[in-house]
Amino acid sequence: MPETINLNPIVNAISTVNNNLEIVARQIDVVGARVEGVAREQADTRQRIEQLYEEFQEYVEKDEWANELSTARQELTLTRQELETRFSHYAEVRRHTTGILQAVDVAIVREETVRTAAEELMLACPGYWLAPSLVGLSAWICDNQSLAEKALAEAVRRDDSKSSLFFSLVCRRAKRMEACSRWLVRYFQIQNPDAMDREAVVMLDALANGVFGGAALTACSAVIDSWLGELEEKAGFPEEQRRRWAEALGVMTLKPGDDEYPTLRKYSPTWPALEASLAAARRNQVIQSFFEQMFSGEIILPPNLETAVDELLDSLVTNFDDEELPLRRKERFNEIIIETDRLPGRARDKKSEAERRYQAEADSLNEQTNFAALLTNAAMYPERHGATRATQRYAVSRSRQWIIAGFNDLVARDRAQVPAKAVIVCGSWTGESRDGLDEQHLVDDLNQHYAVRIEEAVNAVSIPGSAWAALLIGGLLGFFILLMGGGAILVGLLIMAAASAYFYFQYSNLDNVRQQTRENLGREQDEAARILKAALAELTDIRRETASEDKKADGVIELLSALSSPQFVLKRSDQARMIMS
């Protein structure tokens, strides 16, 4: 009778294995959920790392900018202290200039006192042109012709241009018109329109404020016309003036706020170009407001000629000493850094803006420049040249053809740089739109993109290589153990059963993986569609605003075209008529 084989242990073992496999399956589900959670955490971690890196970069930029700002404040203080230390004696001479004239007006100071004060200042300020000028002025007041001639010769030797303009103003104050004309003729004769000294702004001030009499005014205007005509004949000069004005007006560009158009800012690689085009278009209104403010309101004349000339003399002796210019440049650079810190934006943007502004103003701090550039500086930077509002108006009216040309160049350049289309990146989809009005087409394209992607991702779901490896390795290992016979047969069967069960579980779980893939990509698709719609709405808005602001360029041209230099020379009651070319 054949021996009966008891299979109960094997059946029990297989049952146990099945139970264990069910437990393993449940644990695999848990692990799968945990893996998905880990994947989400990895994505979040990556995003946080990128955000942390961005924040770190911004921190470094802020720290570098804070150091530059601190250095600028320290250097500004030191520069002003150095100006005070090195040139404080100049200030003392300056204070005496109009004081002597006003004291003589009221006749309450003895001539000897005036002479002594002027001679003491001469001893205290060797090399300074104004000191011998004061000695000559006091000698003239005291009717000492020989001393006056010696002092005038020394003043002219030290600075012919400033001294000639100084005495032309003094003679005009005293209503010595013949002497005033001679000094003006001398002043004009030594000028080179290609290399004008900074004190020429005072001459413009006197012209614009109607200080010079009729004959002198006609002469001034004729000379200015000849200077501009001579400059315009030089090769490349008109182009240089256009560039100069384009740079000066370009500084008025204001960057949009960080909270404007947030979706485009975050999801469009084209945003920097869109932002630049919006800022350039908004600049038109800033420029128009600048010129409208300059030409609005009445300019109140000083009550009399003496007061007007005193103001010009104070400007001449206070603002135009070349020895101070290196320190003035350093002072202005540090001032611009401090001023730029108040602007919105990142630290690196502030640094770039500070450098751009200083480069646009650098020419105004040169010792000499051509006369047309002097007009630009007087119009745009009057506070650093002592120019009055009347001078600003006159300088702008004289330069209007260059301003219009430079403004047109600026507008044309900015229009050429407006991006034709904006790129928008939403999830894994990338698209382009001209004006945001093609929403339906782009949404359909996005949905089609994700439909293809979902289909590909679902089709790509298959039994993982680990399951095939487990089945192969488990089958071979179990087979070899079976060949050993005896008690090893049970072990071999268990290994083969476990490998098969693991493979079957992975196979039966494919539908769950496919469904999870669909759901994940579906959520990504919905978020991408939301971002796309928001970005397109903002694109429509920014295109409309840019176009609206761009149209304001016509208002700037219309305003500037209406200007005429003769209308911006003020008339005084002591001048019967003024002849302007």
Q: Could you say which DSSP state residue 156 is in? A: H
Neighbours of 519 (CB within 10 A): 11
Q: How far apart are CA 562 and CA 406, in angstroms?
A: 17
Q: Distance of CA 475 to CAs 471, 499, 528, Å?
A: 6, 7, 46
Q: How far apart are CA 194 and CA 372, in angstroms?
A: 9
Local mean pLDDT, 10-residue blocks, the chain (581 residues): 50 57 58 60 72 76 80 84 72 75 76 81 81 87 87 90 89 86 88 85 84 76 87 88 91 87 92 94 95 85 78 76 73 81 72 73 68 88 81 89 94 94 90 91 91 78 61 64 63 66 63 75 88 94 95 93 70 46 33
Q: How far apart are CA 274 and CA 264, in angstroms?
A: 9
| Tokens standing for residue 202 | 């005072």
Residue 395: name the closest of 403, 383, 384 by CA: 403
Q: How far apart are CA 527 and CA 240, in angstroms?
A: 52
Helix H or strand E encompassing 431? strand 429-433
Cβ neighbours of residue 53 under 8 Å, at least 6 residues apart?
Answer: none
Q: How far apart are CA 539 and CA 267, in angstroms?
A: 11
Residues 484-518 as b/e (b if ≥16 CB within 10 A, e otherwise) read eeeeeeebbbbbbbbbbbbbebbeebeeeebeebe
Q: Distance of CA 214 to CAs 180, 223, 570, Å?
A: 12, 14, 12
| Tokens standing for residue 382 | 């009057």
Predicted confidence at residue 5, as pLDDT, reads 47
Name the residue with tokens 């012209």.
207
Q: How far apart are CA 55 and CA 251, in angstroms?
A: 29
Q: How far apart are CA 431 and CA 436, in angstroms?
A: 11
Q: Indicate the SS3 state at residue 551.
A: coil
Task: Identify residue 194 by its one-letter amino acid code.
Answer: D
Cβ neighbours of residue 424 under 8 Å, at least 6 residues apart?
Answer: 264, 267, 268, 430, 431, 432, 433, 442, 531, 532, 535, 536, 539
CB 251 within 8 A of CB 522: no
Global pTM? 0.70
Radius of gyration of the chain (CA): 42
CB 75 within 8 A of CB 67: no
Predicted confidence at residue 195, as pLDDT, reads 86
Q: Indicate the SS3 state at residue 562.
A: coil
Neighbours of 115 (CB within 10 A): 19
